[in-house]
Amino acid sequence: MEKRDLYDRDRNLTGKTIYKGEEVPEGSYIVVVLVFIQNSEGKFLIQKRSALKDGKYATTGGHPKSGESSIEGIITEVKEEIGLDIKPEDLTWYYGGKSDADKVFWDDYYTKIDIENIDKLQLQKEEVESVYWFSADEIKDSMKNDTFLKNHYEEFEALEKWLEKKK
């Protein structure tokens, strides 16, 4: 069973862990990570989550396992969910925060990679049904149609602002 590290309200490791699916104790937090992968055409690698999850579109993300840093966690999630190897130096942290209500800290990453053939990616079928390249407008349309995971869409909006500032 997968373990997750617990943090205090200032994001210091407490030395305590919980198992995946367990309730986060009061006063404790876990870390959530996600990444938006963009190609040179400006499209984003979006996954259709498995029906077991909710069947919605989203980007790749999850929780670092116990002992992993945030960046190690997103590298692990990308490898597990879509079979893609990403190096730490290819990732840029662009946004993060804390939700007391959800008992989480989150870190959002961005990378620009051209993947020759996404049909050859090894998908974790329990998590991911399929992957697609979506334009920003297709992501927005998917959100309007309630087929995109809401909290991932909010992180996409933060990414768009960040990318705009970089221009």
Distance (Å, whole) CA 110 – CA 52: 27
The arithmetic mean of pLDDT across residues 133-154, rounded, is 97
- Give me the pLDDT at residue 152, please: 96
Q: What percent of the chain has pLDDT over 70?
A: 100
The arithmetic mean of pLDDT across residues 154-163, rounded, is 97
Closest CA to 110 of 131, 94, 98: 94
- Give me the pLDDT at residue 1, please: 79
pLDDT at 166 over 90: no
| Reported confidence tier of residue 135, pLDDT bands at 50, 70, 90 | very high
Q: What is the pLDDT of residues 3-51, one digit of tens each?
A: 999 999 999 999 999 999 999 999 999 999 999 999 999 999 999 999 9
Q: What percent of the chain has pLDDT over 90?
A: 98
- Measured CA angle at 133 (ends 88, 55), to 5 deg: 95
pLDDT at 60 over 90: yes
Sign of torsion, CA 36 44 57 90? Answer: negative
| Reported confidence tier of residue 167, pLDDT bands at 50, 70, 90 | confident
Residue 29 pairs with which residues in a beta bridge? 7
Q: Is 125 helix (H, G, I), strand (E, B) or coil?
A: coil
How long a stretch of residues is the chain? 167
Distance (Å, whole) CA 134 – CA 47: 10
Distance (Å, whole) CA 43 – CA 138: 9
Q: Which domains does the chain have, with CATH numbers?
A: 3-162 (3.90.79.10)
Q: What is the pLDDT of residues 80-126, one digit of tens each?
A: 999 999 999 999 999 999 999 999 999 999 999 999 899 999 999 99
